[in-house]
Amino acid sequence: MFPISAIKDYHSALQSAAISCTETVQHYLAVIRDNKHLNVFLEVFEDESLARAAALDLARKNGEPLAPLHGVVVGIKDVLCYQGHRVSAASHMLEDYVAIYNATAIQKLLDAGAIIIGRQNCDEFAMGSSNENSAFGPVRNFIDPTRVPGGSSGGSAVAVQAGMCMVSLGSDTGGSVRQPADFCGIIGLKPTYGRISRYGLIAYASSFDQIGIFARNINDVALVLEVIAGTDEFDSTVSDLPVPSYSHELMGGARTGKLAYIRQALEHPSLDPAIRSSLFSFFDLLRSEGYQVDAVDMEWLDEIVPAYYVLTTAEASSNLSRYDGVRYGFRAPGDLTSPGELYTLTRSRGFGKEVQRRILLGNFVLSAGYFDAYFTKAQQVRRLLSDAFQDIFLNYSGLLMPTVPSPAFRLGEKTTDPIEMYLGDIYTVLANLVGSPAISLPLFQHPSGLPFGLQVMSARFNEVSLLRLSDRFLQLAGKSAGA
């Protein structure tokens, strides 16, 4: 039975009493214990998850029907509020902070019968691409512990990769779910901006942030998405569009269709040649299966990373101003003589280097005199991109792209050069700038032996089409690999 291949198989096994929730939780706790060196969990809710499993088992014995996520073992990135539990954003600033309410996504998971097994390590305040910015040490990639798992949701990705839980929730502001999914060889979905409530998600850049899902198969992604998506009185940016039954919609997906890729993205000099050639071979395979795959042009690809970092640091500098040593978490100790001293010492000791860099950058681009040159310009780029994507999705059901220009790099390899680290986000930030859903699918293997993904994007709120395409592509990749 273990590792459990899919939620629906797990539920069949529960139904035939071949397995219990308690045995399942015991299994995952053992895997977590065996992999402590990967530094995935900041805290494991051991007793609590066993108690919840026992209660769910008892409910089954008493004849209660299975809830949609009955006994599903979920890990959560340490930026999601789970009432009565610590939530630190992997920062000293919030090290001892205890959540006073449940994030809406967490509440929905619990209402659907899920078991939350622990909170997962990540980059501090979700800022990073390698999980090396955590105040509690880096996470390591299960395939090769000398390599990074990606970031910022690195712990959540490795937990699924190494079989420490069935699915994880992460957050994706500029790729933090898709990029680690790519590096770890699993699926990572960032839904449309506004599909899932952000209430109870610690904010990084509010007009970009979205909760995302890590899983090993597309059906599990669909099941979790249909549970956590939907309108919420606590987040006015959530859409009130009805939530389709994604797991049912998966069946009978279209076998043909019009797909596009951005010529300049595939020709970009930063793209690893082996990744480029795998993608082109896959496009040929798609064509032989009846899909139309066209190249489309987009000239301003090199503007998108700067636009993303101008806008997100601006939003971050505002969102993080609340951590002042008065209202939340850490306060610098000692006899401080003025509020200025309190703020300065608290913020320079409570925040790590990367978070400080981004707050400074954000304040800079928002300051009088620079606002028009940076912030306004970046907003204009965002608008141009949104229009361009709207046009693409009028004609095409999916846009195909690499997820990351190169596979997982070694720990320490990029820490001295923040710009190099930022440039690796070239393919993922697009979906956040325009609000579209995007997914990374683990279709390929690099000559180095490392996995990497194909990124697929679709029109806003068209997760159905995105999931159907994903399902088909995963099958085709299996076929093309001779499976």
What amino acid positions are annotated as catalytic residues? 77, 152, 176
Least distance (Å) from ligand GLN to the CB of residue 208? 8
Kindly state whether residue 118 participates in binding ligand GLN, applying the rule CB under 6 A: no
CB 204 within 8 A of CB 127: yes
Residue 132 or 232 with smaller CB distance to ligand GLN: 132
Among 114, 127, 135, 454, binds ligand GLN (CB under 6 A): 127
DSSP one-letter string for 185-250: TSEEEE--TTSB--TTBPPSSTTT--EEEEESSHHHHHHHHHHHBS--TT-TTS--S----HHHHT
Least distance (Å) from ligand GLN to the CB of residue 126? 4
The CA-atom distances, in angstroms, between 129 and each of 59, 186, 225, 241, 363 are 42, 16, 24, 32, 22
Residue 358 or 472 with smaller CB distance to ligand GLN: 358
CB 219 within 8 A of CB 7: yes
Task: Find the part of the chain contacting ligand GLN (CB under 6 A) among 171-179, 237-245, 408-416, 447-455.
Answer: 171-179
Among 113, 163, 174, 398, binds ligand GLN (CB under 6 A): 174
Mask for 67-106, x = binds ligand GLN (CB under 6 A)? ----------------------------------------
Task: Find the part of the chain contacting ligand GLN (CB under 6 A) among 41-49, 106-114, 120-128, 328-336.
Answer: 120-128
Kindly state whether residue 156 participates in binding ligand GLN, applying the rule CB under 6 A: no
Residue 275 or 426 with smaller CB distance to ligand GLN: 426
Least distance (Å) from ligand GLN to the CB of residue 311? 11
Kindly state whether residue 132 participates in binding ligand GLN, applying the rule CB under 6 A: no
Q: Count the residues in the chain.
A: 483
Residue 107 or 153 with smaller CB distance to ligand GLN: 153
> In the complex, which residue's CB is closest to ligand GLN?
176
SS3 category, 457: strand
SS3 category, 178: helix
Estimate to the nearest angstrom the gap between the alpha carbon of 89 and the chain centroid: 14
Q: How far apart are the first and last CA of the chain?
A: 21
Kindly state whether residue 319 participates in binding ligand GLN, applying the rule CB under 6 A: no
Among 128, 138, 149, 451, binds ligand GLN (CB under 6 A): 128
Rg, Å, the chain Cα set: 22
The half-sphere exposure of 477 on its side-chain side, counting CA atoms within 13 A, is 18
Kindly state whether residue 126 participates in binding ligand GLN, applying the rule CB under 6 A: yes
Report the distance separating Cα 192 and Cα 268, nearest Å: 26
Report the distance separating Cα 477 and Cα 451, nearest Å: 13
SS3 category, 413: coil
Least distance (Å) from ligand GLN to the CB of residue 27? 30
Kindly state whether residue 120 participates in binding ligand GLN, applying the rule CB under 6 A: no
Kindly list the residues in this chain that would bind ligand GLN in the complex (CB under 6 A). 126-129, 152, 171-176, 204, 312, 425
